[in-house]
A = this chain, B = another copy of it.
Amino acid sequence: MKLAFLGTSAALPTAERGLSCTCIERNGELFVFDAGEGAQMAFIRAGFGWNKPMRLFVTHMHGDHCIGILGLLQSMSLNRRTEPLEVYGPAGIDEFLAANMRTLGVLPPFLVTVNIVDAAGPVVATDEYEVLACGSAHRVESYSYILAERPRPGRFYPEKASSLGVAKGSMWHRLQTGHDVTVDGRIVHPSDVMGAQRPGLRVGISGDTRPTKELEVFFAGCDWLVFESTFSHDLHEKALETMHTTAREAGELAARAAARNLVLTHFSARHADESDLVKEASKAHGSVTGARDGLVIELSG
């Protein structure tokens, strides 16, 4: 699983940073969180193809978080995407897409499904993962998300199965999928031949928000937490006024949520160099990374 930062600037782009776009690539599927202007150019630079299964989650309906969807749709169309595209976001995303597709004459040759997010809870659930939403605290309706992998079965030890006389083939498969098998009248349990269940990874994405108790609970135990850090704490007043989070607050929230790793992103254009913000958050949390456009982090289980 990879976490890729395509745009890490807040509100205004800079020469080095594009507007919000954070991606997770997992087993060939893309999870895109926000797509500000320039997302399609960043997509090209990242080398993502145009026809990957993709789910796109919008945290809130501000232009710097969703205008890039239009260019993605156009490039996917011109590149003859056939895979459906699932879009999730607050009310308004439907009108935004419909009005632009109408006025710009964009008619994607693939299915675009729009799912309105209007409450906390799972917005996607498959056998392998869920995506969960939680209301965040910004100037308009907004959501944070978690991609939560479901626990994976423990590792299978073939030598243990053989030593217990279990024949390779359908019997192994039954054990691997959680069923007991009987060998010469003796019952063999999956736990006899497999390690402990492996927890899935949890990756949280804050979007634009003030830090809240609700988000602290929501992000509890995340392996990776991508949290907005628009300002340094000496601009706390400005963070309150514009409903953003300071680096110190992001570090403190991540620490209280016991998130294993914190990645700061969404930096105000005044913080050209994010290292001071990383230092500030590091006073509260032991594993802080500052995102830059093009940063890719390999997430291990």
Contact = CB atoms under 8 A, between A and B. Distances in A.
B71 A104 contact: no
Contact of A61 (B13, B14, B103): B103
B70 A74 contact: no
Contacts of A104: 61-63, 66-67, 96
B92 A96 contact: no
Contact of A106 (B45, B63, B105): B63
Contacts of A74: 11-12, 63-64
A19 B92 CA distance: 26
A41 B18 contact: yes
A14 B45 CA distance: 9
A66 B79 CA distance: 20
A221 B79 CA distance: 39
A60 to B, nearest CB: 10
Interface centre among A44, A71, A102, A103 (most CB of B within 10 A): A103
Given A37-B71, A100-B100, A62 B13 contact: no
Contact of A63 (B63, B70, B79): B70
A68 interface: yes
Interface in A35-67: 37-38, 40-41, 44-45, 61-64, 66-67
Contact of A78 (B12, B41, B99): B12
B12 A62 contact: no
A219 B78 CA distance: 31
B103 A12 contact: no
Nearest to A68: B37
A78 to B, nearest CB: 6
A82 interface: no
A128 interface: no
Interface of A: 11-15, 18-19, 37-38, 40-41, 44-45, 61-64, 66-68, 70-71, 74-75, 78-79, 92, 95-96, 99-100, 102-106, 140
List the 3 shortest-distance A-B pairs measured between CB atoms, nearest first: A99-B99, A96-B103, A63-B104
